[in-house]
Structure 1
Amino acid sequence: MNTDTESSVMRTLRHDLPASLVVFLVAVPLSLGIAMAAGAPLAAGLIAAVAGGIVAGWLGGSPVQVSGPTASLTVVIAGLVHTYGWRATCVITILAGTVQVLLGVFKAARAALAVSPAVVHGMLAGVGIIIALSQLHVVLGGSSQHSALANITQLPGQLMNLHGHKVMVGVLTILVLLVWGRLPKHIRAIPAPLAALLVAAGTAWLFGWNVTRIDLTGAIASWAPPELPQGDWHHVAGAVLLIALLAGAESLLCCVATDSMHGGPRADLDRELSGQGVANVVSGLLGGLPVAGVIVRSTTNIRAGARTRWSAILHGVWVLLFALCLGGTIQLIPMEALAALLVFIGIRTISLGHIRKVHGHNEVPVYVITMAGVILVGLAEGVLAGLALAALLALRRLTRVTIDKREEPDGRLHTTVSGSLTFLGVPRLTQELREIPAGAAVDLDLNIDFMDNAAFEAIHNWRQDHERLGGTVTIDELHDEWYTIAASGARMSPAKSPPKAAGRWWLPWTHRDSDASTSVECRLTWGADEFHRRTAPLVRPIFTELAAKQQPTHLFITCADSRLMPSLITSSGPGDLFTVRNIGNLVPRAGAAPSDDSVAAAIEYATRVLGVHTITVCGHSGCGAMAALLAGPAATAELPQLSRWLQHGDLSLTGLGGDDAGDRLDVLCRLNVQQQLENLRTYPGVDEQVAAGRLKLVGLYFDIASARVDIVPPRSPDLPVATTTSLPPEPSQR
């Protein structure tokens, strides 16, 4: 035996073997209870657990998923058993498994994930309520009725004729299930369902209570081959597809859920679907229930430490050995205890967490309709009703149109249409456009990602009518030019366009659509107009909040260089930065000559009134002020004001090496940032707050050519620096 094989065996013995025993202890009572609720032979639940564990565990695509009989199919199976009989139901299970194998072969697994979770959770909640109602009658000493409504109407009469011992066993089982999760951890190592059945069985045996016993005598030996269903084959085919799709969807959704719970290999969904199909074929041939991936057992398996598929396989082996060798011990379990277990499980399917999730996405109607349909009409009908409502709500969301109209100070009417323009939104669109007064000057912004022909015709016809009556219409499209292309007669793309930023404010004027010959004044006017049309509607709510007071967190001191944009390189927005710009991003030392109150006033106001947390000095590459310092006084001889101002940068020359001109300039630009950080400490208010930890000083350096921002460490080792402001490195530099 080689080393890899030995390692695999040791891993299985260490992790998967104990996990398989835990899952086995959970699977046996659940399998028996599901078989009882479905009206199938009790042995059918154990057979399905064996087939699901061994076959689906071996052939499936998930390393940790555990398959077996599932409560979600109980209602369907009960109906099939009542209509066709048990042996014919086994044939339907075989055919459903064949369909699943074919779906897996043709790579159809991903399609099952398109089902809305609200429908799935609503279906499970409806099935859980049906199971709880039917098994409640068994707990009370009676028998379940043929429908949920019948169970509800017969419940008062059942309560009037309570059977003492049977009710006591059921209540005891539920009490154990309720309190088990609060017991010490070493006690909770025994699964709650097994513990509840053991306590109920032991108590009933000890006191000699008159309860209904489970009898598996000869159940395995009395196997009979499946037989063909008798009846309308259209209904049989529908039942086959229903079981195949519901079991397949539950297995695949369980796969996706378990993938997020472990760090092993991800599930192969198509292989999982085919493996489930083979397991259903085997289960049907042997007389077992339909098989699917079960979230309760899979979660238990993962929490117990399972690493590979051997845990699921071994759990099936233990169930098989139990059925063959220890089946007689099941006779000690009261039927009422199994029914109480199913009542508890049924009620637990109504998860408040699921309801909160669907409420957060406004899908509560889908959840409620699915659940009500499953309870009142049937499983297939309830699921179809939920899917139909989910599709309608999704279509409504996808085609929702928002229309905003406001009058500008110059009298023009600014109208913004947002969303996807389809024929479903045409009635509202037409109504809103017709309310615009005749002769008005209209700026129409189309912030849309799709436009069909009906929507185009509505807008185009309105525009022609409006302009014919003396009005003007200026259309601006913020995404792809849907209207312009349609008006030109070109063929439209069937796909929705990807979202784009509203406007291109960060581009220089020369890189946009404005005419290069336009004067500076006209460019400013054009830019303000573009801001009003595109950006102002988006930022107006923010500026409304900021109108009363500013509360910046940073004082940002940087150069007046036109290539440096503080809000762009820091991804900051309105109200974030209190900005000071000057030539060379200089901070005159306190009391230095020539005096300058502008920067000092900004520092004083920012630290004492605004209460900023950080002061940032940001330099940049190729700074003209630093180049002038390197060139000496002669470079600014004809600029006396600039020459006096640059005297505040003389200290930055200290420590400059003798590198070539290009390197010296780059080094000086960085040294200058460090020097200005030191100059800030000469202001008493700043130094006190830095020493107390209430204020941080940050140095940044923007390399223009690479569009990269770096942290500049302080020259003094005791100077606090906030390193979180730096941008992440480029992928090639990581």
Structure 2
Amino acid sequence: MSRDTDSPPGRTVSRLDSLLRHDLPASLVVFLVALPLSLGIAVASGAPIAAGLIAAVVGGIVVGLLGGSPLQVSGPAAGLTVVVAETINQFGWKTACFITVLAGLLQILFGLSRIARAALAIAPVVVHAMLAGIGITIALQQLHVLLGGSSHSSAWQNLIQLPGELSSIHGDDFLVGVVVMAIMFGWKYVPGKLKVLPGPLVAVVVGTGLSLVLPGAPERIVLSGSLFDAIGLPGLPSGNWGAVVLAALTIALIASVESLLSAVAVDKMHTGPRTNFDRELIGQGAANMISGGLGGLPVTGVIVRSATNVQAGARSRASALLHGVWILVFSVALVGVVQQIPKSALAGLLIVVGIQLVKLAHIKMARRTGDLLVYLVTVLGVVFLNLLEGVIIGLALAFGLLLWRVVRVSVTAGEVAGTDRWLVSIDGTCTFLALPKLSSELAKVPARADVLIELSVDFLDHAAYEAIHDWANQHENTGGTVEYVELGTARMAHALTGPPVRGRARTLLDDVLRPWREDEGNQITQGVAAFHRRNAHVVRPHLDELRDVQNPHSLFLTCADSRIVPNVITNTGPGDLFTIRNVGNFVVPGGRDTSIEAALAFAIDELRVDNVVVCGHSACGAMKALVAGGPTGPGLGNWLVHGRASLDRFHPDDPVAAAAAAAGYGVHDQLSIVNVAVQVDTLRSHPVVRRAMLEHGLRVSGLFFDIGTARVLEVTSAGIREIDAPELSALAHTH
């Protein structure tokens, strides 16, 4: 029994409703866009006009049924125009159809072998340039048709013959083509409900109507009978099978890449099911075998039709299938209408399509990413050689550029200004290819100099390690000193332990909070060693300025909890915070804690800080102990007595407690937030703090660090509030 038969009645009704409300209207819109484009692509390819319609019908119905992309629409595409024209010119139309069948078979094999995603590994800049080259080639071809002539065999001939064509313009053809182009370019500016109509259809209809009233006789499309009359079997090649297979492979690869890239783009345009890339290739291959077998053009997924399909509200593959049905009905029943279309109207349409394949955004992106040379070379190769050679040259250049970027390394050696110390900086991928530059720069270092070797490398092979290590040994033997700072992910110590590998990128926790987390033995000692290797030289200049004086902007009182790292959560560095830490971040009133008294007096009277901050945190053990009523006695029990004031204030009517509860915090965290407010009040009543607030505007504030979310909240007398990045207080002061 079929799945549809087993479907619940409600689901069947829902599918039918979706088909009638969404997919049916969308299919009509896509049909109106696809019809003129299919005719134009057949003309540009030098194929029979009916071949474009056959491909459109097969692409819609077959890929709609078998493909893996729910909303992609397939048919003849501008991206294959150049290679198809070359194939027809070389082998003839019947053999070109056989090559299309062979290309479809290759696509099915691609899909069955599950290598579809590998096609997406082609550099996007090469694909963009390929499309731009195709667009330029189409525009050059159709410009001659627009002027009333015929296109030539190559882009170069089309270019050099253009001046002669301009001297003998056919006015009626030219006028029709220019009107079509004007409508195409200006349709996006049309206001109101007219914009719902597809621009290409409106342009061709207006151009056709104009051609019927002009006094001249523009050349028109010729169709011999209905679409069924145009169906014909492909012909086997008479020889040169190597060239036939190469042409089939070229069409299969280009059609596959274009279809897959189009499917990726369509997936980004909707929230429905994603594409099954292997199934999509099988569907495309089946469509090409059938299209070629019936005498049609090659089929690919087409982004213009697919985007139209999504924008028209399609919900399932039924829309693509139905658009193929409408093209079939039109091609059979309305052949006379098609034959009224002037070739210059389709030429104007194709010139605009070709121009739109050259996207300024792609050129800007290539320039920003340093790939402009690859883009230009690929475009020129596609236009003036052929599509396959242009793409191969582009891929080779892209790969060469990638290889150069991956293996290049920057090596500099120079004396640190104002010192006798030399700095050798090595940045990038350090391999045997860097040895000439490495030895040249190391030779600049004078004997007996103190040298710092800064390694910011992600890959270090044995040859590079040996060169650096041998030079360092020789330099130390002649009276110099060598110190290593390893900032990159590759380590000198690992160079001899096995084959070289690209180092694992370190995280913030690895590099800043706990650089010893993966080391064994004495963690503090190992951490200090890691600090010397990675970070000491970075902070050394700043610490040298602080050697004899400190000028912190804030006194920061927080809990002794190991999870609280003041400089990390306040984005500050050495010399910014004067820090006090104790269990529970308590301020003991009445001068009973001489440590806090001394810190307050020194920070406010001697260092003249601008801020005093109390910072509590979530999951605080002191707060949990207070809520639980223990411990008591010496040690921790005696210290937690200082939290009684916070516990006494902690009740539902308190605005701070109420705000914390409303924000969803649990009892212990609510108490922690109230505790911050209590300590802030205690500080503001302290004689030293109160005097500084009056004399030089000392600010006293409270913070709460939520460990789980890494969010820092401000605690005020009225409750809590978020601190947004652009509004950070003086704690985010940069230095």
TM-score when normalising by structure 1: 0.81
C-alpha separation in 2, matches of 1:119 and 1:714: 55
Q: 1:165 to 1:713 in 2, by over 3 A?
A: closer
After TM superposition, give the deviation of residue 90 of structure 1 in Å: 0.2
CA contact (8 A) 1:698 1:721 kept: no
Tell me what 1:535 maps to: 535
Measure how far apart 1:172 and its partner are: 0.8
Deviation track 1:70-99 (CA, whole Å, cap 9, x = no partner) reads 111111111111111111100000001100
2:241 is aligned to 233
Deviation of the 1:671 alpha carbon: 3.9
Worse-superposed segment, 120-129 or 325-334: 325-334
C-alpha separation in 2, matches of 1:145 and 1:545: 75
Equivalent-residue separation in structure 1 for 2:388 and 2:544 (angstroms): 52
Q: Deviations over 1:215-256 (max 9, x none)?
A: 213263143321112342221111111000000000011111
Corresponding residue of 1:146: 153
Whole-Å separation in 2 of the counterparts to 1:369 and 1:213: 37
CA distance in 2, matches of 1:551, 1:185: 66
Q: Could you tell me which residue of structure 1 aligns to residue 658 of structure 2?
A: none
Instruction: Note if 1:120 corresponds to 2:127.
Output: yes
Q: CA 1:679/1:52 → structure 2, altered by over 3 Å: closer, same or farther?
A: farther
The 3-state SS of whatever aligns with 1:332 is: coil
8 Å contact kept, 1:434–1:462: no
1:342 aligned residue: 350
Deviation, 1:401, is 1.5
How much does 1:403 deviate?
3.1
- Pairs within 5 Å for 1:111-510: 111-218=118-225, 220=227, 221-405=229-413, 407=415, 411-467=420-476, 469-475=478-484, 477=486, 483-487=492-496, 490-492=497-499, 495-501=501-507, 504-507=511-514
1:700 paired with 2:708, answer no
Q: Deviations over 1:661-684 (max 9, x none)?
A: xx999987554213134457879x
Counterpart residue type for residue 356 of structure 2:
R
Matches within 5 A, 1:77-116: 77-116=84-123
Question: 1:605-624 maps to which residues of 2 (within 5 A)?
Answer: 617-618=615-616, 621-622=620-621
Q: Deviations over 1:579-601 (max 9, x none)?
A: 65365645699999999797599
Gaps of 5+ in 1: 637-641, 658-662, 690-694, 726-734
Distance of aligned partners of 1:230 and 1:426 in 2 relative to their CA distance in 1, 3 Å threshold: farther
CA distances 1:657-711 after superposition (whole Å, capped 9, x unpaired) = 9xxxxx999987554213134457879x99xx9xxxxx996541577xxx88687
- Contact 1:64/1:302 (8 A) holds in 2: yes
**Does the CA-based 8 Å contact 1:251-1:294 persist in structure 2?**
yes
- The one-letter code of the counterpart of 1:15 is H
Whole-Å Cα distance in 1 between the matches of residues 298 and 671 of structure 2? 77
Q: 1:390 & 1:100 partners in 2: Cα distance? A: 25
- Secondary structure of 1:215's partner? coil
1: CA distance, partners of 2:289 / 2:127: 24
Q: Which moved more, 1:526-535 or 1:338-347?
A: 526-535
Offset from partner CA, 1:339-397 (integer Å, 9 cap, x none): 01111111111111111222221111111110011111111111011101110111112
2:514 and 2:527 in contact (8 A); partners too: no
Q: Distance in 2 between matches of 1:533 and 1:325?
A: 80
| 1:320–1:450 CA distance, 2 compared to 1 (3 A) | same
- The C-alpha deviation readout for 1:503-556, integer Å capped at 9, x for no partner, is 75533989967868x9xxxx7xx9788546412566789999999xx999x967
The alpha carbon displacement at 1:442 in A equals 3.5
Counterpart CA distance in 2 for 1:263 and 1:702 is: 34
1:730 is matched with none
What's the secondary structure of 1:450's corresponding residue?
strand
What's the CA shift string for 1:326-346, capped at 9, x where partnerless? 121012211101001111111
Is the Cα–Cα contact under 8 Å of residues 454 and 485 in structure 2 kept in the other structure? yes
- For 2:394 and 2:261, locate their aligned partners in 1 and report how far apart those are by CA, in whole Å: 17
Question: How far off its partner does 1:417 sit?
Answer: 2.3
CA–CA distance in structure 2, aligned partners of residues 227 and 162 of structure 1: 39
Identity, % of aligned pairs? 43
Q: Distance in 1 between matches of 2:563 and 2:481?
A: 40
> For 2:575 and 2:22, how far apart are their aligned partners in 1?
53
Aligned residue in 2 for 1:732: none
**Alignment size in residue pairs:** 685
TM normalised by structure 2 equals 0.81
Task: Identify the residue that residue 728 of structure 1 maps to in structure 2.
Answer: none
Q: Which AA in structure 1 matches 2:558?
A: C
Q: Is the 8 A contact 2:453 2:482 kept in 1?
A: yes
**Aligned equivalent of 2:79:** 72
Q: Distance in 2 between matches of 1:169 and 1:664?
A: 79
Residue 6 of structure 1 pairs with residue 35 of structure 2: no
- Tell me which amino acid in the other structure corresponds to 1:330: V
**Residues 229, 545 of structure 1: alpha-carbon distance in 2 compared, 3 angstrom cutoff:** farther
Rounded Cα–Cα distance in structure 1 between residues aligned with 2:310 and 2:380: 33
| Conserved 8 A contact 1:700-1:709 | no
Q: How far apart in 2 are the matches of 1:551 and 1:163?
A: 83
